[in-house]
């Protein structure tokens, strides 16, 4: 059995969701137009993932096998609504940027996957750490992807926050393709390939 620390750290490399598990791709492609968007999405996901993992792990003896998916969805949806309302209230610009992808966290396969494969079998502590690790890994990946796309496609970093940095000066003509949807696919594909070369 993996040590407690490993439950946490595996999410950063060994099971980093978009690259290793190839889960959560839909959101990863859609919200990584900039670093800040990616980061916001990651944080929202961490919150939902950790909370739902804890609750599901606590209730794992109670939930009947046959209706477990419905139960998980209800739990997950609850936290998603919380996240949605909070972002709407306090970080409205992020709420605008993420749009439909916040409600869609409900069906994000990472969360359901962790619930089904991990939280429903393991103790509360392990589940919480797993959620934190996987969520942090996901955030890391989104930040990286978002940064790459933002640098190439806009020539900036931290766009959408107060700390916008214009990396290449005003005469830079950004490679706008990278912030378009096909650019996201190309970027993600290349990163996946690089991970496969580096990994193992």
Partner 1 sequence: MPSSEIKYRNLVISSAPHIHEGRSYSGAMYTFIIALLPAVIFAISRYGMDAARVIAVSIASAMASEYIIQKLFRKPVAINDGNALLMGLLMAFILPPSVPWWLIVVGCFFSILVGKQIFGGRGGNTFHPVLLGWVTLRFSWADYINYSYGAINYTLNFSVEYPLHVLKKSGAAAVSGLNYLDLFLGNQVGGTGASAVLLILIGGLFLIARGVISWRIPFSYLAGVAATASVFWLADSAKYADPLFHIVVGNVMIGAFFFATDYSSSPANKTAMLIFGFGCGLFTVLFRILSNNPNGVFFAILFMNILFPLLDKIRPAVPGKVMKEA
Give the binding site for partner 1 (CB under 8 A): 173-178, 180, 182-183, 186, 189-190, 193
Residue with smaller CB distance to partner 1, 193 or 199: 193
Residue with smaller CB distance to partner 1, 182 or 199: 182
Taking the complex as a whole, the smallest distance from the CB of residue 144 to partner 1 amounts, in Å, to 19
Residue with smaller CB distance to partner 1, 92 or 168: 168
Residue with smaller CB distance to partner 1, 85 or 181: 181
Taking the complex as a whole, the smallest distance from the CB of residue 153 to partner 1 amounts, in Å, to 8
Taking the complex as a whole, the smallest distance from the CB of residue 191 to partner 1 amounts, in Å, to 12
Taking the complex as a whole, the smallest distance from the CB of residue 189 to partner 1 amounts, in Å, to 8
Taking the complex as a whole, the smallest distance from the CB of residue 173 to partner 1 amounts, in Å, to 6
The residues facing 166 across adjacent strands are 156
> What distances in angstroms separate CA 175 from CA 29, 43, 154, one per listed residue?
17, 28, 7
Contact 54, 128 (CB under 8 A): yes
Angle between helices 68-90 and 35-58 (to 10 degrees): 140
What the block records as the tokens of 124 is: 């509360």
- Residue whose pair of structure tokens reads 């970027």 in the numeric block: 187
Residue with smaller CB distance to partner 1, 11 or 183: 183
d(CA 25, CA 49): 16
Contact 127, 142 (CB under 8 A): no
Taking the complex as a whole, the smallest distance from the CB of residue 190 to partner 1 amounts, in Å, to 8
Residue with smaller CB distance to partner 1, 38 or 183: 183
- Residue whose pair of structure tokens reads 């409600």 in the numeric block: 103
d(CA 24, CA 147): 18
Q: Strand (E) positions, the chain?
A: 156-157, 165-166
């Amino acid at each position: 059995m993996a040590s407690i620390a490993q439950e946490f750290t595996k999410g950063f490399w060994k099971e980093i969701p978009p690259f290793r598990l190839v889960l959560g791709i839909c959101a990863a492609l859609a919200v990584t137009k900039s670093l800040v968007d990616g980061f916001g999405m990651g944080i929202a996901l961490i919150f939902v993932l950790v909370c739902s993992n804890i609750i599901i792990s606590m209730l794992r003896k109670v939930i009947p096998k046959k209706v477990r998916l419905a139960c998980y969805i209800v739990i997950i949806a609850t936290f998603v609504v919380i996240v949605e309302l909070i972002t709407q209230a306090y970080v409205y610009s992020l709420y605008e940027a993420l749009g439909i992808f916040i409600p869609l966290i409900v069906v994000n396969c990472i969360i359901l996957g962790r619930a089904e494969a991990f939280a429903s079998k393991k103790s509360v502590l392990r589940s919480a750490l797993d959620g934190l690790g996987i969520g942090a890994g996901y955030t890391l990946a989104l930040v990286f992807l978002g940064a790459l796309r933002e640098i190439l496609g806009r020539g900036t970093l931290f766009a959408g926050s107060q700390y916008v940095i214009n990396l290449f000066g005003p005469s830079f003509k950004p490679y706008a393709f990278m912030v378009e949807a096909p650019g996201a696919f190309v970027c993600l594909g290349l990163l996946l390939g690089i991970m496969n070369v580096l990994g193992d």
